[in-house]
Structure 1
Amino acid sequence: MHDRLQTAKSIDEVIQHHDFFLDKCLKECLLLLPELIKNVEKLKSLCLQYAAATQWLISSSINIPKLDEQSDGSVGSGKSKQWKLKNPSQAQKAVTRNSAVTDSILKFEREFNAEVQSLRPILSSSSQAQPFLTHLAQWILGVGNEP
């Protein structure tokens, strides 16, 4: 826009260049496609939820077992260190916790993939009319992702 304004010969050309710039900004920021914005907003929300859940899981759910004392009363040292759970119920809790973490991650993955797939029809139809969406559409639709 700056270069075009430098060559403008009248105020009408300045207004025309400005209008062109604003229109391009609206299109390329996806502000003219409310359906797409809504889906991208859902994806962003899922990503933020996943990040918050991951942070919470790391800080509160992962419990590193304590090192048990060896039979001679000394604490394991050197190569003979082993991680031992103090009792079977602790082992069961760890397995249950790991299962819950895995289930949560898989749930986020399913929701994220569903949202990405919901973009397919929107991008498929919009990318033909809006060339700037072609790269995004190709990525979402899986075109050109072969190694």
Structure 2
Amino acid sequence: MGGDSTVMKVSGLQSLGLAIQLSGDTSKSQQVLEQSLAIANQLNAKPYLSSILLNLGKTAADLGDPSAAIQYFDQAEQVATSPSEQLQARLDQFKLFLSYNKLDLAASAAPQLFQKLRELPPAAPPSMQPSTLPQPSIVCKTPLKFCHSKTWPS
């Protein structure tokens, strides 16, 4: 990895991108996060890549571009340096499927996702422990009325 100041720039741009997103300027947030990603790629700063890609995926989803969001979540999972980062990418993708009422995609992803959640080590937060997880059949059969507001691109 590059010098400390360059790595700090990656982290700073990522934080700035998130702050801008919270302020409501999702397009500007995406631009700043893409700058952070470009520098992280140049430095091969692997510890930052997955997190930046996850945030870009969430930004793409907020901008109504689920195809781009899926690509970012897939990339985040591929470059993840820990099982929890891989799991977060899958969870974000699952949430995207649900928000666009893609129940067939969510249903096909659910069993593997639940298996990964069950494999979490005991140090995982209590809310993510297997004993607190709903069964896949419960999740997949629950009506998702909130999902009908978004349209998946053809």
For the pair shown, which has the larger CA radius of gyration, 1 or 2?
1
Same fold (TM over 0.5): no
Structure-2-length-normalised TM-score: 0.29
Query: Greater relative contact order: 1 or 2 (C-alpha under 8 angstroms, separation 6 or more)?
Result: 1
Structure-1-length-normalised TM-score: 0.30
